[in-house]
Amino acid sequence: MYTAQGKIDKSDTLAKHAPLVRRLALQLIAKLPASVELDDMIQAGMLGLLDAANRYQENQGAQFETYASQRIRGAMLDELRANDWLSRGLRQSSRSVDVAVQALEQKLARPPTEREIAQAMQLSLEEYQQLLQEIHGSQLVYYEDFDTGSNENAFLDSQIGLGEQGGHGDPLERMLESGMRHMLVEAIAAMPERERLLLSLYYEQELNLREIGAVLEVSQSRVCQLHSQAISRLRARLHETSSSEAA
């Protein structure tokens, strides 16, 4: 994997870790609308892998695969954002759920129920659940989503990979330094138990929708709805926390 000069052999690295790129692309695309092409994600991921090979230093304290995975995912997310894969309508719908959840949490001092959110949005419960299913896959969370600047539309709607070109440093390092991990843990702890379980099954154990449905004893479409609602709760709580800390 290394040349005589002690540097990573890039051609060997690309060939050896191509399956990793494909696996990460498949994991990501499973959470996205059908319009997103797998080949586009793989191509972007290979560029991220090449970037990792260029930047990696053995004394960084992380194995290359761990380091490369972060770069690969970041490159894929950059590609999604650059191509504006999410329609404006879905983006607005997703944001409207976030706003309703945040307003109700502030008013009720507890996580609102589905029926309460639907009522606040002037929708029937069935219409609200259909909306949750439509926006499933539209809710990717980015580090810069917690910027408390004046542009409201930038919240949870900006790009993860500003990198050195934007003068902001490595996104992962910024996340760890900012205390975002602590914010995230607290936000998840405040969620309803069923939605906490769903997030654990989905992101930690990487179960698919069918498998999660079997655990929760609900349909796959219901899993989509619950996931969308869980992410809206999470984003609303993080937005509120970051805004209050900035005040």
Pair 112, 29 in one domain: no
Closest CA to 161 of 172, 176, 147: 172
What pLDDT tens digit does each residue of the chain (247 aa) get?
445 444 556 778 788 999 999 999 988 887 776 667 889 899 999 999 998 888 887 655 568 888 899 899 889 888 877 776 666 777 788 889 999 999 999 999 999 999 999 999 999 999 999 999 888 766 554 444 444 443 444 333 333 333 333 434 454 555 555 566 778 888 888 899 999 999 999 878 878 888 999 999 999 889 989 998 998 898 888 877 766 665 5
| Count of Cβ atoms closer than 10 Å to residue 245 Cβ | 12
Burial of 112 (0-12, 13-18, 19+ CB in 10 A): buried
Closest CA to 175 of 80, 55, 23, 70: 70
62 is written with which tokens?
């992380």
Which of 67, 82, 97 is the endpoint of a domain?
A: 82
Is 29 within a domain?
Answer: yes
pLDDT at res. 235: 85
Pair 223, 113 in one domain: yes
Which CATH number does the domain housing residue 234 bear? Answer: 1.20.140
Domain count, the chain: 2
Pair 47, 100 in one domain: no
Is 2 within a domain?
Answer: no
Pair 14, 53 in one domain: yes
33 is written with which tokens?
């609308």
Is 3 within a domain?
Answer: no
Which of 43, 67, 82 is the endpoint of a domain?
A: 82
pLDDT at res. 209: 83
Is 67 within a domain?
Answer: yes
pLDDT at res. 182: 79
pLDDT at res. 167: 39
Pair 116, 202 in one domain: yes
Pair 180, 239 in one domain: yes
pLDDT at res. 177: 54
pLDDT at res. 208: 82
Q: Is 114 helix (H, G, I), strand (E, B) or coil?
A: helix
pLDDT at res. 36: 78
User: 61 lies in which domain range?
Assistant: 10-82
Cα 102 to Cα 202: distance, rounded to the nearest angstrom: 23
Closest CA to 97 of 81, 78, 118, 111: 118
Pair 101, 191 in one domain: yes
Which of 65, 82, 99 is the endpoint of a domain?
A: 82
Pair 178, 147 in one domain: yes
